[in-house]
Structure 1
Amino acid sequence: MNRLILVGALGLIVAVGAVILNWRTAPAPSADLSPYGAANAQEAAEIDTSSIVEMTLGNPDAKVTVMEYASFTCPHCARFHEGQFKQLKAEYIDTGLINFVYRDVYFDRFGLWASMVARCGGQERFFGIADMIYDQQRDWVGSGQDPAAIANNLRKIGKVAGLDEDQLEACLNDNDKAKTLVAWYQKNAEADGIRSTPTLLINGTSYSNMSYEELKGLIDEALAE
């Protein structure tokens, strides 16, 4: 998604508290969907994010680590996961040649909710649920204006993935987890200079979205070093 990622996402928490807790019955809020307007960087810095689990695939001891920063509401990210990621997984991740790390970016509260559903099944289920969320992005996002409908669509994806209703309710209503995730995202984005999605880091060097052939060339070069 070619738009600037502004550091300071805690303004999103206002929407989290107002909508997630009452998503079944609440009308669409009048608040701006942007998470950045009421940011409090100091508050983010003080939140302990050590409880957030890194979502990884492949060989943790591999010579090369590929890290992806992506948003579940980013169309470019959905296309990356449909194309380049599947090739990357088959050729480099499943074969143990690289360590792959996925990190969330939150452009809006809907991306945060999607992340909370994907993480609801733990690390073992995360990537399977994430695939479903990306594959069905146009369907669950819809017009992007009805929070209750979007939450309901994400809940349906979670159920198809094998999560039960109580489990989903607990995950979607976990405001402490939401705040921690946003602070974690903010710290990561600032540390790695993330400005757009998808952004790929290969052994710490940042690259914008690219074709699989370009990505493969960079990985092979790093493996050969």
Structure 2
Amino acid sequence: MQRRTLLAAGGGALLALGGGGILLNRRNADPESLLPGAAHAQESGGELPEVVEMVLGDPDATVEVIEYASYTCPHCASFHANQYQSIKANYIDTGKIRFVYREVYFDRPGLWASMIARCPGDTDFFFNVSNLLYEKQSEWLASGDPAIIVQDLRTLAKTAGLDDATLDACLSDGAKAESLFTWYQANVERDGINSTPSFLIDGEKHGNMTYDDFAGILDGKLS
């Protein structure tokens, strides 16, 4: 499986999937084009809504880890199934670090997954659904058909407690889609993110790594 890599194109961010997909770039970033095909953008009140950072662990911890990942990235799914579980148990749940998760949008399905995870605006819900999205990634992405992907995402979201009316509202929120896309672009350009998963550990950029390597860096920072 190929690691997802961001490529500069036309002055904006164009993302290469290593296969087929619905690529996102600045030219198709209007709210209507970001939404699922059956959804119609809700009227925006003018200013875009603020994007809330999703944070676990001790907010005042001296060591901060920021993960950049995409819900459609297979290496990100592998990281969350493996290294992340030990990092969470040994460093996040114990309050040793502040862990921030930031989405990268390679394609519209990744954005739709993010909009569903962020639907209620609740941190616990977000991380619970994120776990589901990674665990079931091969299933909801399997068809490659945008219409089927949306239905599979909706089915997954319902297992987490969302109903159809709530999902309709979330997936038609054009202002939120535009805000998330703008936020993601600013993040990756500012922090020099060029592949996923990527990590900023106290501001230092790192690529994917084993748990032992991750723990070694964290222990060094904590000591």
Distance 1:150 1:136 in 2: 12
Query: 1:152-171, aligned counterparts within 5 Å?
Result: 152-171=151-170
1:23 matches 2:38: yes
Percent identity over the alignment? 49
Shift of 1:48: 6.3
Q: What amino acid does structure 2 have at the position aligned with 1:162?
A: G
Cross-structure match for 2:43: none
* TM-score (structure 1 length as normaliser): 0.84
What SS does the aligned partner of 2:51 have? coil
Task: Spell out structure 1 runs of 4+ moving beyond 4 A.
Answer: 47-50
Shift of 1:22: 3.8
Deviations 1:84-132, CA, capped at 9 Å, x for gaps: 1111100000000000000000001110000001111322310000000
Cross-structure match for 1:4: 6
Cross-structure match for 1:148: 147
Distance 1:68 1:19 in 2: 23
Cross-structure match for 1:101: 100
Distance 2:128 2:87 in 1: 16
Change (3 A) 1:95 1:23: same
Shift of 1:148: 0.6
CA RMSD of aligned residues (A): 1.8
Deviations 1:24-44, CA, capped at 9 Å, x for gaps: 8xxxxxxxxxxxxxxxxxxxx
In the alignment, structure 2 segments of 5+ residues that lack a partner are: 14-24, 40-45
Cross-structure match for 2:76: 77
In the alignment, structure 1 segments of 5+ residues that lack a partner are: 25-46
Shift of 1:164: 1.3
Q: Is the 8 A contact 1:19 1:147 kept in 2?
A: no
Distance 1:13 1:19 in 2: 6
Distance 1:215 1:78 in 2: 17
Cross-structure match for 1:13: 29
Change (3 A) 1:48 1:75: farther
Say how many residue pairs are matched: 200
Considering fraction of residues, name the structure with more helix: 1
Q: What amino acid does structure 1 have at the position aligned with 2:128?
A: G
Change (3 A) 1:23 1:86: same
Cross-structure match for 2:67: 68
Cross-structure match for 1:138: 138
* TM-score (structure 2 length as normaliser): 0.84
Cross-structure match for 2:220: 221
